[in-house]
Amino acid sequence: MKLAFSTLGVPGLPVPEVLALASAHGYHGVELRAHPEEPVHAGLSPAGRAEIAAQFRGAGIEVLAIAGYARVAAPGDDAPVLEEIRGLLRLAQDLGAPYVRVLPGADAEQPGEESDAIAARRLGTAAQDAAALGVRILLETHDSHRTGADAIRIIGPVGHRQVGAVWDVMHTWLGGEQPAETYAALAPHLGYVQVKDVSSAEDTAPLPLGAGVLPLGECVDVLTRNGWDGWLCWEYEKRWYEEAAPLAGLLDEGRDHLTRLLGEAA
């Protein structure tokens, strides 16, 4: 498996410095958080996109995904959500990223069947654009649809190869789903896996990998036993927790922990 980290852990850091971290600490790729406060976002000019793509190629580091914030199950008109997804898809194509990450984001008062249908309809429409651009849209196990069983209620009816899933191991754990259950639900659609660690369900501030309670070893074991050979991406949520230790000082330890888990599962 290949290892990546998310720029959510180094908010606002210029791309050359992100690449220097990835190169120095043995990571193969980077998940780029796409937001106006970050160096990478949908408003980048063509020249800016070309420069960033060239920087990644020069460093020999892959752009794993563009992590967007389109909420596909949110109430309201389809048009703004679809335009947001299309902007992310174009950005991904320009940067050479194979994936765009989107979120569910259903309203708490919205009936489940209704939110599932809204999300499936939007993703089915956006899948046509994704196919034309050669990029896959991945729905993350998150917020209103935090388990694999939740996510597949949306992804399954779409039935398009350009629509898949990101497995966020914290959210499936918070949803009470076992790693084997998540894998069974998402396996045909799985793009990559987001790993992280926290101290408890009540305190989700980011910890170094292996220092918390998330079943990372079990997740890696399930993936390995089933012959899955994709990406593990460390999503260290420093952006939301200013008091968390800087990611840069943890990258070697995190890489070593994941490498050790992979070796034990082999």
Q: Which CA distances in Å does 56 have to 17, 37, 95?
A: 11, 20, 9
Alpha helices in 25-147 (DSSP H): 46-59, 78-95, 112-133
Q: Is the pLDDT of residue 266 over 90?
A: no
Per-residue pLDDT tens digits for 251-264: 999 999 999 999 98
Residue 59: both structure tokens together: 């460093």
Model pLDDT for residues 170-218, shown as the tens digit of each residue: 999 999 999 999 999 999 999 999 999 999 999 999 999 999 999 999 9
Cα distances from 96 to residues 46, 92, 144, in angstroms, run 13, 6, 30
Its pTM stands at 0.97
- Report the helix count and the strand count for the chain, using DSSP H and E: 9, 8
| pLDDT tens digits for range 92-142 | 999 999 999 999 999 988 889 999 999 999 999 999 999 999 999 999 999
- Domains delineated in the chain: 2-265 (3.20.20.150)
Q: What is the model's pLDDT at position 202? A: 97
Cβ atoms 216, 210 nearer than 8 A = yes
- Work out the number of other CB atoms within 10 angstroms of the CB of residue 50: 13
